[in-house]
Structure 1
Amino acid sequence: MKNILLLFVLLTGVQFAAAQTDNGWEDWQKTSCYSKISFRLKDAGTRGEQHIWKIQFKSDYPELISFNYNLTDELQQYNITTHRKTLNANELSKEIEIFTKEDNIYILVDKVSLSPYPQDFIDCN
């Protein structure tokens, strides 16, 4: 009986520790075109009728990059935002807060450049 109780306590502790580290973030996802750029989302609830999302980007490039990211609703009828982001080598971005009407959003990353300027774009890999 003690072994079963000890096993339960250990398993509960492992699950609790995993929930703390995740902190509500979804798993990292590679962008559809650039395997060295990843992103993750966090549903931060609602404010009135708007959904609040937090987004982070991660670069696995060994040098500075810049890219456009575009957020759309699930039907791709509305562009929510398009911005340009610059990340240093192997950098994790700060949290970006986005407000949407829909509860499903899609992220498109394009126009990746190995400079801080939107020029000399690299091809999709």
Structure 2
Amino acid sequence: MKKFILLAFFFFALNTAFAQTDNGWGEWQKTSCYSKIEFRLKYDGKNGEQHHWKVQFKNNYNNLISFNYTVTDKVQQYTLTTHRKTLKGGKQSDEADLFTDLEDIYILVDKVSMTPYPENFIECE
């Protein structure tokens, strides 16, 4: 019985560690500062020395927003790229390709505006 429980725990832990949704996408995650902006990642393997990722964003606000997103290898240490994204209310973005040197990456979202322009930024929640 102990072996069965241990084996069941192992499979549960393994499944949780590698939990992915449809077609290899990870679960939707809230950004650290804005609870109505979510993202998900999909690891697409390694191309040469670069790790290939795909990212999607979801806007849970009722209206259009725009925001900056930054991809880093280490939290706020090595910025790889910063982009500005505009997204209609209640919609999710097309997937975007990301290439990184390290396998661990972080997505940071800031400068959120309720317009398509980088102006009148809303405060972090």
Per the TM superposition, whether the score is higher than 0.5 is yes
2: distance between equivalents of 1:21 and 1:84?
26
2:119 is aligned to 119
Which residue is 2:35 aligned to?
A: 35
* 1:80 aligned onto 2:80: yes
Which structure 1 residue ranges, 4+ long, deviate > 4 Å from structure 2? Answer: none
- CA 1:20–1:108 in 2, change beyond 3 Å: closer, same or farther? closer
- Shift of residue 24, structure 1, vs aligned partner: 0.4
- Are 2:21 and 2:27, in contact at CA under 8 Å, matched by a contact in 1? no
Q: Which residue of 1 aligns with 2:59?
A: 59
Please give the alpha-carbon distance, in whole angstroms, between the structure 1 residues aligned to 2:38 and 2:47.
Answer: 27
Q: C-alpha distance in 2, partners of 1:76/1:20?
A: 26
Indicate how the Cα distance of structure 1 residues 20 and 56 shifts in structure 2: closer, same or farther if over 3 A, else same.
closer
TM-score (norm 2): 0.81
Where in structure 2 are the equivalents of 1:19-34 lying within 5 Å?
A: 22-34=22-34
Bigger radius of gyration: 1
Following superposition, the deviation at residue 32 of structure 1 comes to 0.6
Work out the CA distance in 1 between the residues paired with 2:103 and 2:109: 20
Tell me the TM-score normalised to structure 1 length.
0.81
Structure 1: which 5+ residue stretches go unaligned?
A: 1-18
Aligned-residue identity in percent = 64
RMSD: 1.6
Instruction: Give the total of aligned pairs.
Output: 107
Q: Equivalent residues in 2 for 1:94-113 (5 A)?
A: 94-113=94-113
- Quote the Cα distance in structure 2 between the aligned partners of 1:47 and 1:40: 21
**CA deviation after TM superposition for structure 1 residue 75, in Å:** 5.6
C-alpha distance in structure 2 between counterparts of 1:83 and 1:74, whole Å:
17
Give 1:31's aligned amino acid: T
Secondary structure, aligned partner of 1:93: coil
Q: CA deviation at 1:44?
A: 0.3
Cα displacement (A) at 1:92: 0.5
